[in-house]
Amino acid sequence: MADTPIIALVGNPNCGKTTLFNALTGLRQKTGNFPGVTVDRKAGLTRLDKNTDATVVDLPGTYSLYPKSLDEQVVLDVLANPSSNDYPDVVVVVADASNLKRNLLLFSQVADLGFHTILALNMVDVAEAHGLTLDPELLSSRLGVPVVLINAKSAEGLDNLKFTIKGELLEHAERPKPTMQFESVSKDFLEEVKEKFGVNNSYLAMLMAGQAEKLRFLTTENRSQLQAINQRHSFQHTDFQAKETVDRYALLGKIADAAVRKKDGELKETFTTRLDKILLHPVWGYAVFFGILFLIFQSIFSLAEYPMDWIDTGMASLNEWVKSVLPDSMLTSLLTDGLLAGIGGVVVFIPQIAFLFVFISLLEESGYMARVMVLMDKLMRSVGLNGRSVVPLISSVACAVPAIMGTRTIQSWKDRLITIMVTPLMSCSARLPIFTIMIGLVVPDRTILGVFNLQGFALMALYLLGFVSALLSAWVMKKILKVKERSFFIMEMPVFQLPRLDHVALSVYNAVKAFVLEAGKVIVAISIVLWVLASYGPGDSFEKAEEKVRTENPTLPEQELNNAVSAAQLEASYAGRFGHWIEPVIRPLGYDWKIGIALLTSFAAREVFVGTMSTIYSLGGDDDTNTVKDKMRTEINPETGEPRFTPAVAFSLLIFYVFAMMCISTLATTYRETKSWFYPAVQFAYMTGIAYVAAWLTYQALK
């Protein structure tokens, strides 16, 4: 046993395993990937007693050791490979006490691998609410392992669980006896596999023989050897798997029936069951869902308005203060007009990002998000998409990168590919700053029907537009790829529960931190480059620009003259010349060269658009306006003498960013998941093409 023992948490999806992991590790966890794959690995330390720490590894949820997806494959890879760095000293199988019979299948498979195994019965309160009583002593004696009652959410039973884990780590602790005897399997076959690969566990030998193609630690030669042994002994792993599953359920069903009794003879209808009749109703379910969406987007505008104003004003004051205390120099200009302007244009959106993730976390923690996925599954199947695509699409409202990684649960390669290709069409949180600032410029902050905000309506419409376009694109790709097979989405409904505020707070903190730090790095780098490009020009272009302005406007007041000189020098700079160079391409969309610069810089990350606009207008705009929104609102189109951001231009930009693939991280993730640059290239081309055409149609219709 290693100095720090490893405790693996295993269980069915939605059994409360991750909640237990958070409770054991106190949210002190390290995230990464399992070796060789990009499946998330979460590990953290827990203190079993004052002298013993243990590493807790949260393995992906699975229903059995016969994997159907990459996530489930990781569980088998870890438990079947003693050389794995995550190979556990003790396995805690977390089971939903209200649905024990089905949860016992995975438990019995893990126990038959010979691990020190503990069965942790979670959600006992839910089982009691269903009118069930549990007999843990009887269950323990029949299964031959310790059984511990816990409530992962309230941390009840955790001390007992730690005490039991400590007991299993003692050298004299007994390992469980096999729950199944595989008499139909040839002993010669088992002995040959065990001898050839140096294993002493019969069930592990059978898993290696039957699942060789899914065990990544086996070499090609190992797989060939196992195939030869299978043929020699006529071992049919699919027949074995089917018989094993039936036999296990027959045995475990009797044990579960003996250990779980109904109080009143009949199951009670719980609060969750009654609520699900509404939330999963084919009409009321959608009505409630869209009602919740509506309230979320209304709140993002109304609740976040005050902290946003404080941050915006604070950044403007800071900028002015720095200018007042530092000497007038190029370094001061870099600091104020470059860095502070760019950063200020992004941090102002922290309240909206935080509110968005508060609502997402509350929906996830309460169990409602699982209902949304089931509800949306019906809609997905109507366009021929795999029901498992619901999870990545819903997740991409936060960020497309983990959402694309979440497609690994989809078995069909074509279905998975289509989901990867359309997921970025869902509006992620990085689009939120662009949406809100453009909506704020052209949509009146008006209350309708007494309580609803018109800007909130516009924001919700943009999110729905992204969702509908994702479904339509999936339908078209389905036809192109000629996908005919059907698959089904199976999901266990978690019970409704009050969200844990510390989990919500951690989720919001991580989201805001990622937004500020990851976007901040790019923004700082781009702001510096942009400031240099906008502050210098070829030869004596700056002097000529100033001379021309002063000659043509001899009567202008000094302040207006200085602003005109700044604008002319920006236009003569390297950035201005580059903007003019691409202007013919974007002019049909209603954009000028300044917007063009922001479009190009935002290819790194969408949120950079706002920071770039803030920097550009700080260098060449009116000094009397400080906030990024004011700078954009006061920008004048020199050709028309009217505001630059008319409704036609603003809505054209909004529509462009609904469809545009402008995120290098997402493209890199698509490459990593598809192992080919062809698919990111297609993704970029088709999304940019749709964005350009849609933005052009919008501008032409509204101008």
Residue 430 assigned as binding residue? no
Clarify whether residues 617 and 478 are in a common domain.
yes
Clarify whether residues 528 and 627 are in a common domain.
no
Tell whether the model's pLDDT for residue 291 goes beyond 80: yes
Residue 3 assigned as binding residue? no
Residue found by looking up tokens 């500020």 in the block: 516
Which range in 355-359, 428-432, 633-637, 698-702 is most confidently predicted, on average pLDDT? 698-702
Residue 122 assigned as binding residue? yes
Specify the pLDDT at position 656: 94
Task: Give me the mean pLDDT over the 56-83 stretch.
Answer: 86
Residue 152 assigned as binding residue? no
Segment 507-556, tens digit of pLDDT: 788 777 777 776 667 667 777 777 788 778 888 888 888 888 888 877 77
Higher pLDDT, 306 or 488: 306
Residue 38 assigned as binding residue? yes
Tell whether the model's pLDDT for residue 461 goes beyond 60: yes
Clarify whether residues 517 and 608 are in a common domain.
no
Task: Give me the mean pLDDT over the 649-677 stretch.
Answer: 86
Residue 25 assigned as binding residue? yes
Looking at residue 89, its amino acid is D
Residue 297 burial class via C-beta count within 10 angstroms: exposed 0-12, middle 13-18, buried 19 and up: buried
Specify the pLDDT at position 362: 85
Looking at residue 110, its amino acid is V
Tell whether the model's pLDDT for residue 316 goes beyond 50: yes
Higher pLDDT, 137 or 72: 137
Clarify whether residues 16 and 134 are in a common domain.
yes
Say how far apart CA 295 and CA 226 lie, in whole Å: 58
SS3 556: coil
Specify the pLDDT at position 4: 86
Clarify whether residues 29 and 161 are in a common domain.
yes
Higher pLDDT, 605 or 242: 242
Confidence of residue 117 (pLDDT cuts 50, 70, 90): very high
Which range in 432-436, 504-508, 643-647 is most confidently predicted, on average pLDDT? 643-647
Task: Give me the mean pLDDT over the 450-475 stretch.
Answer: 86
Clarify whether residues 13 and 150 are in a common domain.
yes
Clarify whether residues 357 and 287 are in a common domain.
yes
Residue 681 assigned as binding residue? no
Tell whether the model's pLDDT for residue 100 goes beyond 60: yes
Residue 44 assigned as binding residue? no
Specify the pLDDT at position 313: 81
Confidence of residue 491 (pLDDT cuts 50, 70, 90): low
Mean per-residue pLDDT over the chain, rounded = 81
Tell whether the model's pLDDT for residue 390 goes beyond 70: yes
Residue 160 covered by a domain: yes
Residue 428 assigned as binding residue? no
Residue 77 assigned as binding residue? no
Clarify whether residues 651 and 685 are in a common domain.
yes
Specify the pLDDT at position 487: 59
Residue 345 assigned as binding residue? no
Residue 597 covered by a domain: yes
Closest by Cα among 5, 6, 110 to 65: 110
Clarify whether residues 14 and 68 are in a common domain.
yes
Residue 125 assigned as binding residue? yes
Residue 386 covered by a domain: no
Residue 59 assigned as binding residue? yes
The domain of 513 spans 269-366+498-535
Identify any residues that bridge with 92 across adjacent strands, giving them in sequence order.
Answer: 9, 118
Specify the pLDDT at position 267: 55
Residue 478 covered by a domain: yes
Residue 60 assigned as binding residue? yes
Residue 272 assigned as binding residue? no
Q: Give me the number of domains the chain comprises.
A: 3
**By the 8 A CB rule, do 209 and 67 touch?**
no
Clarify whether residues 577 and 481 are in a common domain.
yes
Say how far apart CA 63 and CA 104 lie, in whole Å: 9
Residue 447 assigned as binding residue? no
Specify the pLDDT at position 623: 47
Residue 39 assigned as binding residue? yes
Clarify whether residues 502 and 484 are in a common domain.
no
Tell whether the model's pLDDT for residue 322 goes beyond 50: yes
Residue 213 covered by a domain: no
Domain boundary among 171, 188, 214: 171
Clarify whether residues 166 and 287 are in a common domain.
no
Residue 398 covered by a domain: no
Segment 143-171, tens digit of pLDDT: 889 999 998 878 888 999 999 999 888 87
CATH of the domain at 62: 3.40.50.300
Residue 444 covered by a domain: yes
Print burial letters for 301-319: b (CB count within 10 Å at least 16), e (below 16): bbebbeebeebbeebbeeb
Q: What percent of the chain has pLDDT over 90?
A: 15
* CB count in 10 Å sphere of residue 585: 12
Residue 201 covered by a domain: no
Higher pLDDT, 327 or 305: 327
